[in-house]
Amino acid sequence: MLYKFKAFTRFYLSLVLLLTVVIIGSIGYKCIDPEFSWIEAFYMTVITISTVGFREVHDLSPGGMIFTSFLIISSIGTVAYSISALTTYFVDGEYRNTFKAARLKKEIGKLKNHVIVCGYGRVGEMAVSELNDHDTTVVIIENDESRCDLLRQNGVLVIKGDATRDENLEKAGITTAKSLISTLPVDSENLYVILSAREKNSEMLLISRASQMNSVHKLRVAGADNVIMPDKVGGAHMASLVAMPDVVEFLDHISIQGSDSINLEEICMEQLPKNMKKSKLGEIIEHNRVGVNVVGLKRSNGEYEINPGAETELDGACKLFVLGTSEQIRALNRMIKHAQPQP
């Protein structure tokens, strides 16, 4: 376990070395001069390696004098290293970092259905910001120490390390997470993250960034459910602003369960209260007391229907896409939450 806590390494090593010198010294005094009791041998060892200069308990024999001399010479470096390590650990605050790491590990260990974001660059920062607007718990894996320090100051769950290493994915709770977003700047690193994540959690949603077109297929083969090219998306968005400026501006005005005035959210049929689980969409709309509009649905076989009519047949595994104001969406969420049975 020591390798997981580097701050503990010097601390424990200094204690082990100091304890070893005390044990060897006590045994040495007891063997060389049998008249020493174990307590007296321990006392002689302590005053010798600490160089305090107290008077000996008994007069030393020539063998005892030689042993004392070698004990002093051999313990100088050990004692100096131990004092330095202990001072650094407590005075420089390394113990606080150690306990923070232990607390972070414990806190992440309790998480379920959270999102792991690998890399906190420009793309990763925007992804985390959007997820925070959606009240989604996020764990970040970032290799830059300065970014990690800034995130910790803001109370963000962040792991300092390389996201391509399996142990860092495990620290982030890869087995209990619902999805992972890899926004590393190098496609090969994203590929490695996706491969490792898919191996450790076959059910989670994996989304990856890609910089090169030929990397998209490789990432999908590796297990990514979605691959996003920021440059391509940005270019297409700018072109759309020229061709259809009003349409794009309207779509930009719609947020996905965020803080904007118009929001879009998906709802599973299983989430709906019993009095709203009907066989036809029109029957659900009749019980819609918050005023949201159903703009589409996704069936259990993956097929989409846009702007479904009131006679549309529903199944228990389909998802509804509803559009409404932020207040309507919040009211809908409260209604669903209150209607769900308590465990």
pLDDT of residue 90: 64
Of 89 and 154, more confident:
154
What tens digit of pLDDT does each residue of 109-165 get?
888 889 999 999 999 999 998 888 778 899 999 999 889 888 888 888 899 999 999
Extents of the domains making up the chain: 2-94, 113-233, 247-339
Output b/e per residue, 121-156; b: 16+ Cβ within 10 A: eebbbebbeebeeeeebbbbbbbeeebbeebeeeeb
Q: What is the CATH number of domain 113-233?
A: 3.40.50.720
State the pLDDT confidence band at 336, using cuts at 50, 70 and 90. low
> Which amino acid, one-letter code, is at 117?
V
Class of domain 2-94: mainly alpha
The pTM of the full predicted model, rounded to 2 decimals, is 0.62
Q: What is the CATH number of domain 247-339?
A: 3.30.70.1450
pLDDT at residue 224 greater than cutoff 90: yes
What tens digit of pLDDT does each residue of 160-196 get?
999 999 999 999 999 999 999 999 999 999 999 999 9
pLDDT of residue 338: 53
